[in-house]
Amino acid sequence: MQTRIKSPLLTLEATAAVLCFASGILAGVVGTLLSASAWILGSEQHPLVRGLGTALLVVTIPLLIFAGYCMDWLERDSKKAPKPTSHNI
């Protein structure tokens, strides 16, 4: 009798970790670019760009923290999973 082992790459935890990590990095980069462009162009003329850049920089930290939590969650669940045993002994 063979049992199917769930792939750790296709779980909710792994997907959430990858998406949050990528979103956090992207939000940080875009937020930095928008903030820098607001400094160069003048924030009085483009208040939306300044506000959006600041918001993206603020959102970066919680996204990265949640990505780390999901990675810990994935590791904790993989340690609890029973190890496959050979029935040919």
DSSP 3-state of 86: coil
Q: Cα separation of 31 and 60, whole Å?
A: 9
> Per the structure block, which two tokens stand in for 33?
């670019």
* pLDDT tens for each residue of 11-27: 788 888 899 999 999 99
Report d(CA 4, CA 2) in Å as an integer: 7
Residues 6+ apart with CB under 8 A from 84: 3, 5
35-46 residue pLDDT tens: 999 888 887 877
User: Is-contact 31 10, C-beta < 8 A?
Assistant: no
pTM of the model: 0.71
Domains of the chain by residue range: 11-78
